[in-house]
A and B are shown apart, each in its own frame.
Chain A
Amino acid sequence: MLLPSAVILGVFVLYPLGRAVWLGQQRCDNFGNNCVSQGFGQYLDLFRSTEFQNALGVTIRFALITVPAGVILGVGLAVLADKYLRGIGVFRGIFSSTVATSVAVASLMWLFLLQPSVGALANIGWFNSLFPSVKSPGWLQDPDTALWAVSASSVWANLGFTFILVTAGLQSIPRDLHEAAAVDGAGGVRRFWSITVPMLGPTLLFVVIVSSTRAFQAYGEIDLLTGGGPQPTNPTTTIPYFIYGQNSPIRNDTGLQAGAAVLLFLLLLVLSGLQLAGVGRRVHYGD
């Protein structure tokens, strides 16, 4: 009964991981052939290389922007919609809706929004005069704003997911708590910080874990919005894009690709290690 799963997971998860670890210490020629062992010191060299360091920095910055922004906006929306009001279900449906967008769909929507010549924002007169930079050079084209623009798209795309999780978390808070506090004279703000936030703890932690993992795996939005650029500083080349992207300097070297992939695996391992140490099992499965 285990056999089917064991074969698939063995051949397509464990074997490739092991093989990648081995390949990671090799260098190959331009066609990915004639690989030569370089010794495992190559991992260190790769990690220290300017290109990998840039990708690592971009990935960390991307995570540091998207994770807090996603959590704050998700909680904000969920709290905003956590009142009994006529038609609140409609608002909740709308706030959850971005969960139905794939990375390609969401990124193309934002590409059209932000495109400097044919894009929507650039062709709205008042918006353009308020923010001339949307047309020239364009937020995705300016090295200083590109990562922020990609982050905005990414946060938006994940907003529905965060909203749903946080709303479910809010509804699992016993109403008595709020009611008792209200009777004792605690206002909305006080109740938010003293009841809502602590009670949401596990949910928020889960959201943080999921969104930081996602940030480290960001590929689609980079590919569609900036292609890792603008050149030459590549301020949006995340690690996955560094490995698999079209302009990747290691695209034709299986050895270096595998090495960078293993480094990404190790980074995510450290990340999940921190998560496990911090929160234990409960948070993963509770909701």
Chain B
Amino acid sequence: MATELTDDLTMPVPGELAKAARRRRPMQSFDEPTGAGRLGRYALLCVVTFLVVFPIYTTVVAALKPGSEVLKNPLVPTTVTFDVLIEAWNEGRLGRYLFNSFVVAFIVTVFQVVTSVLAAYAFAILEFPGKRIAFLLFVATLLVPAEATLVVNLDTIDGLGWLNTYQGLAVPFLATAFGIFLLRQVFLTLPRDLRDAAAIDGVGHLGFLRHVAVPLVRPTIGALALFSFLGTWNQYLWPNLVINEADMNTVQSGLRLLSRSSLSQPNLVMAGTVIAAVPIFVALFVFQRQLVRGLTAGAVKG
């Protein structure tokens, strides 16, 4: 889990990239291609685009075709129909799976943010005996891959009677050393005087946290929330282990189920894949801007 989250650290910046490219324009003249070089560059970009998009394209084409035409000409949407998408939503239960994934990812995100804020604050601002050792122990959990703990966690969740429940899917991931570490780093940058002044005014730690510290590090919290959400949403192995009731599947384990049960209907499976993919494509498109705005604002502030 830990590594998955760190992976996502730099995820959603394509919008920023485009913006940066525009900003750079005046300095760019010395390596701005002209004439034939420019045409060649465009041609190359188009070829590469074709290759990168190809798997997505064939998927969408298949999802829009009726079963009788899937095998004919996979590159051309000969007949376009939304029936298969509707079928995947209803009979493939994709709607239900999306709902489950959303609930679990939402719970995990909220808890990861809260637990990380609290622990990070303790490690950054408070003084207590054994702090250094405790911190090392927390950070050490980053080195433990989820695969190493799932055997026992499955036992624990089973013992609690939480198989096939939201608790079972969410509870093992309600805290993350990655989040604690990330937020501790930004809390450490807050001026000591801020806390001292608040203390003189009689503001307790929780009050200071809520009214001063958290608002100041909001961009980082936003980033953490996005990574938590995506990390949970994309989990594959854990839902497969914990869930065996059809209705409790997440999108990922639900897709697996769909692909196993409908191998003879590739268009149905592809329709399910499209439905599962669209929310995250949209979310990344929407949130990339907010996140980038937040991150750049944070950079200006401090």
Contacts and interface: CB of A to CB of B under 8 A. Distances in A.
Contacts of A282: none
A113 B58 contact: yes
B45 to A, nearest CB: 5
Interface in A129-172: 156, 159, 161, 164-165, 167-168, 171
A57 interface: no
Which of A5, A7, A168, A219 is packed against the most chain B CB atoms within 10 Å?
A5
Interface stretch (B78-86, B141-149, B190-198, B219-227): B141-149
Contact of B41 (A85, A258, A285): A85
Contact of B3 (A92, A168, A213): A213
Contact of A265 (B48, B70, B74, B145): B145
Given A84-B24, A214-B3, A103 B234 contact: yes
A243 B151 contact: yes
A204 interface: no
A100 B145 contact: no
A108 to B, nearest CB: 5
A164 B276 contact: no
Given A91-B49, A219-B147, A9 B177 contact: yes
Majority SS at the chain A contact face: helix
A84 B255 contact: no
B151 A12 contact: no
A120 B30 contact: no
Contact of B145 (A12, A165, A268): A268
A19 interface: yes
A58 to B, nearest CB: 15
A209 B272 CA distance: 33
B122 interface: yes
A5 B44 contact: no
B237 interface: yes
A217 B3 contact: yes
A64 interface: no
Contact of A13 (B13, B56, B70, B149): B149
B27 to A, nearest CB: 5
Contacts of A5: 115-116, 118-119, 138, 175, 177, 180
A8 B17 contact: no
A193 to B, nearest CB: 15
B118 A2 contact: yes
Interface in A14-48: 14-17, 19-20, 23
B174 interface: yes
A4 B147 contact: no
B122 A2 contact: yes
Contacts of A182: 30-31
Given A85-B41, A108-B255, A93 B14 contact: yes
Contacts of A100: 277, 280-281, 284
B162 to A, nearest CB: 12
A9 to B, nearest CB: 5
A272 interface: yes
Interface in B116-136: 116, 118-119, 121-123, 126, 134
Q: How large is the interface on B (under 10, 10 to 19, 20 to 34, 35 or more residues)?
A: 35 or more
Contact of B14 (A11, A96, A111): A96
Contacts of B241: 244
Interface in A163-201: 164-165, 167-168, 171, 175, 178-179, 182-183, 188
Contacts of A105: 255, 273, 276-277
A258 B152 contact: yes
Contacts of B71: 118, 123
A115 interface: yes
Most chain B CB within 10 A, of A15, A100, A179, A182, is at A100
A264 interface: yes
A1 interface: yes
Given A123-B72, A264-B148, A108 B41 contact: no
B174 to A, nearest CB: 5
Contact of B152 (A19, A95, A97, A103): A19
The 7 closest A-B pairs by CB, nearest first: A89-B18, A16-B152, A8-B175, A265-B148, A16-B149, A120-B74, A12-B172
Interface of B: 3, 6-7, 10-15, 17-18, 20-22, 24-25, 27-28, 30-33, 38, 41-42, 44-45, 48-49, 52-56, 58-59, 62, 70-75, 114-116, 118-119, 121-123, 126, 134, 137-138, 141, 143-153, 155-156, 171-175, 177, 180, 185, 205, 233-234, 236-237, 240-241, 251-253, 255-256, 259, 264, 266, 269-270, 272-273, 276-277, 280-281, 284
